[in-house]
Amino acid sequence: MNMQTFENKDIQKNSTSFIASAVFAVEAIKADQAQEKQMKAKQLLDRLFPLESGSHSDVTEYVIDLRHVMAYFKDGTHSGLKHPKHFVAFTGDRDHPHSILFRDGSGSHMEVTFGCNKGTGCVEFVEIKDIQMETCTTFPQAECNSVMRHWISLIKGDMNGKPTACTEDKEYTAKNGDDYRLDFCYEI
């Protein structure tokens, strides 16, 4: 399945089916096809969190500038997100973030973790180490609803390319500098 065939309005209408479709598309790529996984991951970012101009496929570096994500290209130009409100937090340094956390219109999170640059002296494209998509399961109780947050890894998987899922607490720096914490279990 080609990631470019998804329409933004379809994604916003039914994010659950989109998550399943995105997982299926990346799952179809075997673990040893790293370049293909990178391409699909960047196409996914172009669909969900497009840049004002350019493509995530052409980005050489991401930088947190004040409260915005700036993507830099080989020719020295840069671009922000088409919808800056999707950027909510990051880990690492503002000049070299380790990961960036996005939130879509429905409130679901997606964490993009970057690999390290090889340091060859040439300007290289950003390597995406992993993309983790948030899915939540609600457990109704007597007084309140308890929700468990699962993270589905689209890049890292088993040797057959199958995505892995985990539950864990995650801590970030919000774009305004405050702490931004996502607990694996919370109440609504």
pLDDT by 10s per residue, the chain, length 188? 333 333 334 334 445 555 556 666 666 666 667 788 788 888 889 988 999 999 999 999 999 998 999 999 999 999 999 999 999 999 999 999 999 999 988 888 999 999 865 555 556 888 888 889 888 777 666 455 688 888 888 877 766 666 778 889 999 999 999 999 998 887 76
Domains of the chain and any CATH numbers: 3-187 (2.170.170.11)
| 3-state per-residue secondary structure call for the chain | CCHHHCCHHHHHHCHHHHHHHHHHHHHCCCCCCHHHHHHHHHHHHHHHCCECCCCHHHEEEEEEECCEEEEEECCCCEEEECCHHHEEEEEECCCCEEEEEEECCCCCEEEEEECCCCCCCCCCCCCEEEEEEEEEEEEECCCCEEEEEEEEEEEEECCCCCEEEECCCEEEEECCCCEEEECCEEEC
Its pTM surpasses 0.85: no
